[in-house]
A and B are shown apart, each in its own frame.
Chain A
Amino acid sequence: MKKIDKYIDSVYQDFDGTEKEIKELKVEMRSHLLEIVEELKAEGKSESKAVQIALNRFGDEAQLSHGLMEFFEAQKLFAKKLLRFSIGVCIVGIIGLGWLVILNQMEQNERKDLISNIAAQLNEDTEFSTAEEDEVLKQVNYFSDSLKILHLSIYYSEDGMEEAFPAKVENAEYVFHNISPVNNELVPTKGYALNDKWFMQIQFDDNRNNYIALITLGIFIVFGVLIIIWSILNTYIKKYKRRKNDD
């Protein structure tokens, strides 16, 4: 039996745990080994032979269990790293989304400035004066680059904007800017009432925003996929742990 005690001491030599835990585990292991020894003795083996066989068997078992534990520990570590990485990806996505929101708000404000500046130049007369026309053109040129204006045309309608919008470009009273790829059949992105009689149709190039939005979406999709992998892995590890505890 001294051999068994010596073996148990060697197994728990570098074990990470409290004194109480180690003592309990040692008792459990001892009784398990003694059980095997008794069984072997009942089969007719001598005591020293029975102890040797029991230790050999237990050694194989422990090695297998240790190998499995190492495998699951590696998986657990991988799952942890995966979660950290996916949270990092999510943070990048949130930064991208924040950038998109700020960019979008800045553009919206500039668009509002453009519209209100143009509306401020007009009265409800049926025609523009040369000074009004020059002033509107000045505004369009000022904003055309930063807002990426593709098209800007102004329309007159006795019944107001709701009746006439969307209008074809050929019906425009004034076309101030037109580099839109869809010319005369253009249905602009937005229509704005400048006053009760005049309204404006504008098309902006939203490509830059769309690219940022698509990249951000892509980042969130990657995050979603990573999180799904993490969840599956986590569930798998938990199941293994539960089974091991049941054993």
Chain B
Amino acid sequence: MIKKVIIALLSTVIFSVLLGGINYITMSDKTIEGLWGPMFFFGLYSLPGFFFLGIPLSVLIEKITYQKSFKSNVSLYFTKFVLYFVTGAIAAFVFMMILAIAESEIYLIGQELVSYMMYGVIASLIYYHISLIIGGNKK
């Protein structure tokens, strides 16, 4: 469990630095928020996402893949890759919906659905690869 928490924390940092950095580079007026503004923004929103959705969903993926036998590590890697990809998109959608409902602004969903889901996919794949490096996976 401690490993999962470390993975979630590391994922938050890497996700925020990566997305915040890209956001800063592509920003037209860099003086408004600086580099830390977007990083803090991504960190603030991704941290609960990694903890409340990322950890349980990764446990679920582990459980499902643990029950199946795979011919090789490559097929296991790609199966998990697809599962994390789909889960990331779904988790981002659910997370976004919860935020939208909490703010009573459901119409936000219609606007940038795909980009939010892509953020979810990136976050999920970052989590997956960190868990591969740290070794939080059973198999």
Interface residues in chain A, defined as those with a beta carbon under 8 Å from any beta carbon in chain B? 90, 93-94, 97, 100-101, 104-105, 107, 189-190, 204, 206, 209-210, 213-214, 216-217, 220-221, 227, 231, 234
Contact = CB atoms under 8 A, between A and B. Distances in A.
Decide if the interface of chain A is mainly helix, strand, loop or mixed. Answer: helix
B86 interface: yes
A104 B106 contact: no
Contacts of B94: 217, 220-221
B29 to A, nearest CB: 11
B109 A220 contact: no
B63 A210 contact: no
Interface string B91-109: 0011001000000001101
Contacts, number: 47
A94 B110 contact: no
Contacts of A206: 106-107, 109-110
Contact of B110 (A107, A217, A234): A107
B27 interface: no
B113 interface: yes
B97 A100 contact: no
Nearest to B106: A210
B18 interface: no
B106 A213 contact: yes
B93 A216 contact: yes
22 contacts: A93-B90, A94-B86, A94-B90, A97-B89, A104-B110, A104-B113, A104-B114, A204-B110, A206-B107, A206-B109, A206-B110, A209-B109, A209-B110, A210-B109, A210-B110, A213-B106, A213-B109, A217-B97, A220-B93, A221-B94, A231-B63, A234-B63
Contact of B113 (A90, A101, A217): A101
